[in-house]
Structure formats: C-alpha cells, structure tokens
Amino acid sequence: MSRRVRIAVLVPALAGLGALFAWAVAGLPAFGDYRGPYGYVLNRIVVPLRHTTNVVMGTTFDVRGVDTMGEEFILYAAVVGVTLLLRDEVSTRRVERHTRRLRSDATRLVGVLMVGGGLLVGLWLAAFGYVTPGGGFQGGVVLAGALLLLYVVGSHRDYRVFRDEHFLDPLEGLGAGGYVMVGLAALASGTPFLTNLFGLGTTGTLASGGSIAVLNWASALAVTVAMLLLFAEFLKTYETPLEQDDPGS
Amino acid sequence: MSYLPYAVAAWICVVGLFGVATSRNLIHLAICLTVTQSSSYVLLLSVGYVKHGGAPIFKGTKPGSTAVDPVVQALTLTDVVVSVAVVALILALALDAHRLAGTIDPDGLADVQG
C-alpha cells in the first residue's frame, strides 16, 4: 500500500474513531463530577485501616496488591523478552567500544552531583512512598536513572557493576520473588494470599502500613534492577565484536 | 469546558495513532505509541477527578477532606509500567530488525523476505 493510499484510508478512520470517542465521553459525568463509590470509600477507610497516609500506595500494595504483583511480572517479562531478543545466537567475544569521556569538567561535575541527588530523591520517593507522594515504582525508576547517569558522566568502568548480570539477576529475583514471598507468608499463617500481616504501626511515619512497606521495597528493588537490566541489554548492542574492531580502539 | 480533559485525551490518542500509521522509523513509532498510551493516563485521571479535591494523600490534611479517586491513579501507575515494558520490547525488535534488514523503516521492512 502506497503512503498516499494509507493516509487516505487513515484520516477517515481516525475521524470516525474520534467521533466514537466523543460519543463515548459524552455519556460520562462532566469533569469533576465524580460519582464514586470506590474513590470515596478508599479515601475514607485506607488511613484508619492500613495507617498509610498515601492512599494511592495503600490501594496499590494492599487493596489491589494481587494486580500489582501481576504488574511487577509484566516488567519482569519485558526484561526477559528484551534479553532473549537481543541475545546473540553465536556468542562472539565482545569488546567495549572505545567510549569518549565527556570533555567538559563542568558538565561532569554537574553530572556527578546529579547522580548523588538522583539517588537521594529516588531513595526518598521509595522510602516514604506510602506516607507522602511517591512509591516503590516511582523511586525505582529514579534510582535506575541516577545510576545510568553514572554511565553518562563517568566511564563504562565506573558503571561495570551495574550491568553485571551475576550481580543484578539475584537482586531482580529478590525483588520480584520477595513480593510473592510476602503473599505466601500470609497463606502460611492461615490467612488469604497477601493479607496485611505485620503490625500496622503509627499513621504517617515510616513504621506504618505493615506488609505495604515490605511490598513497597520489594517493588522498588525489582523496578530498579529491571531498569538496569534493560539498560545493560541495550548497552551491549553498542559493543562491537573483536574481529571487526577498529585498529585504534 | 467540563469535557475539555476528555477531548484532550481523544486528541492525544488520535494524534498518536496517526504518528504510528505514518511512521518511517521504528523508534519514532515507539514514541508515537507512548503518545497514544498517554491518552489513557489523561482519561483515567480526569475520570477520577473530584471538583476541588486534593491529592488522595492525607499527610498534613484532615482525613475525610475531599480528595480525588485513588483507584484510577493506581491504574495509571500500572498503565505507565505497561508502557515502559512495551517500549522496551519495541526498541529491542527495532534493533533486531536493523540487524537483520539493515533498516528501521517499516515500509522498507515489508520488502524483506524471511
């Protein structure tokens, strides 16, 4: 199909889709006219029942904790998929491409400061996820981003440990498996899967939420390491086989 | 005005799909797909908005004060994670396509024989 024909078919189709979309949302209550009931119910019960002041995370890791476990394994499946797609069938000996270091000292200084700042923000987002805005997923992504910045401003040598599968794989297993273990611990104690086990603690402090805190950290670990594994797989494609290597590098 | 966020969601969705269908580069296509998916974030969050409601985070506010729906926010979180997973897979496929066919133009790939 030529490009012109494709656009000629596409534009009416998209116009039709837009019209259907408009028709669908015309039946929704107006913006801001929320009728509930789930949002109202959760906003009323999560704080007294779970002691987590961030109701979104209370919902994510408790009310719909099983869904979040599935969500974690979606990410896990993506990492496995990318690894399988990018894996070379013939294992050629590979060598790092000669990476240019950043020339400007000022850029590197700002970058290094951002690594530290990013790690702090990531840890804060993850740690206080169930108290203030944040959470394990969000904190995990920021942590992984801060570590990747180390690759950008430093060298592949500084970053080596964060792309080492022997180091990352067990951590990913601990994160994803830890979530399931918390669920199974509830089963073992004779309650339904993922029942909130540990003491609920004091509302509005780090020691609150019971299982939510543990699940939050398991997710933070799983997300950080999943991102690092994805980066590692993509970075591998920048390596060139030894025999095709330029003589200079 | 009260339907404006829904209209924005529809617009983002249609624009993203247009980009996907007319893309000449698989990486551009992956970005267009995330644009399309962003429309679902806008839609979810606007469905859960309560007039004059705050964030559903009750640190420093009275429990029981008006807040927006936390369920759709949790769903949006799932949505973002799915989006990341899909983009990672598309980028990996684009790399594979480039290795096998030497191009990442979807039209160029149509001529490649298995």
CB contact under 8 A, A79 and B48: no
Residue B100 contacts A, CB cutoff 8 Å? no
Task: State the Cα–Cα distance between residues A168 and A176, nearest whole angstrom.
Answer: 12
Q: Domain of B23: which CATH number?
A: 1.10.287.3510
Chain B CB contacts of A10 under 8 Å are 18, 21-22
Chain A to chain B Cβ contacts (< 8 Å): 162
- Domain edges within chain A: 52-241
Residue B114 scores a pLDDT above 80 = no
pLDDT above 60 for A165: yes
Does residue A88 carry a pLDDT above 70? no
Q: What is the pTM of this model?
A: 0.86
Mean of pLDDT over chain B? 88
The answer to whether B62 faces chain A, any CB pair under 8 Å, is no
Looking at the domain assignment, is residue B57 inside a domain?
no
Q: pLDDT confidence of A94, banded at 50, 70, 90?
A: low
Please report whether residue B62 resides in a domain.
Answer: no
pLDDT at A240: 58
Residues 152-211 of A with CB under 8 A from B: 204
- Interface residue of A43, A131, A236 to substitute, partner B, most B CBs within 10 Å: A43
Chain A residues close to B69, C-beta within 8 Å:
34, 36, 38-39, 42
> Whole-angstrom Cα distance, residue B6 to residue A109?
44
Quick check: A121 pLDDT over 80? yes
Q: What percent of chain A has pLDDT over 70?
A: 89
The yes/no answer to whether this complex scores an ipTM above 0.90 is: no
Spatial separation of the C-alpha atoms in residues A232 and A168, rounded to whole Å: 10
Q: Does A47 touch chain B (CB under 8 A)?
A: yes
pLDDT for A190: 86
Contact B56 A43 (CB under 8 A): yes
Average pLDDT value for residue range A187-215:
85
Tell me whether residues A47 and B91 touch, CB distance under 8 A.
Answer: no
Least CB-CB distance to B49: which of A31, A38, A78?
A31
Cross-chain Cβ contact B10/A25 below 8 Å: yes
**What backbone phi and psi angles, to 5 degrees, belong to B93?**
-65, -35
What local confidence, expressed as pLDDT, does residue A249 receive? 42
Judging contacts by C-beta atoms under 8 Å, the chain B residues touching residue A133 are: 55, 57
Q: In the structure encoding, which two tokens stand for residue A149, read together?
A: 């910045």
Residue B58 lies in a domain: no
More confident residue, A126 or A194: A126
In the predicted structure, residue B5 carries a pLDDT above the cut 60: yes
H-helix or E-strand spanning residue A38: helix A38-50
Residue A3, chain B, CB below 8 Å: the answer is yes
For A76, which residue in chain B has the nearest alpha carbon? B85
How many domains does chain B divide into?
1
**Nearest C-alpha in B relative to A41:** B69
**pLDDT tens digit string along B41-50?**
999 999 889 8
Which one is predicted more confidently, A210 or B38? B38
pLDDT for the residue A248:
47
Option in B52, B59, B96 nearest A132 (CB): B59
pLDDT, tens only, B101-111: 888 888 887 76
Domain that holds residue B99: 4-49+69-107
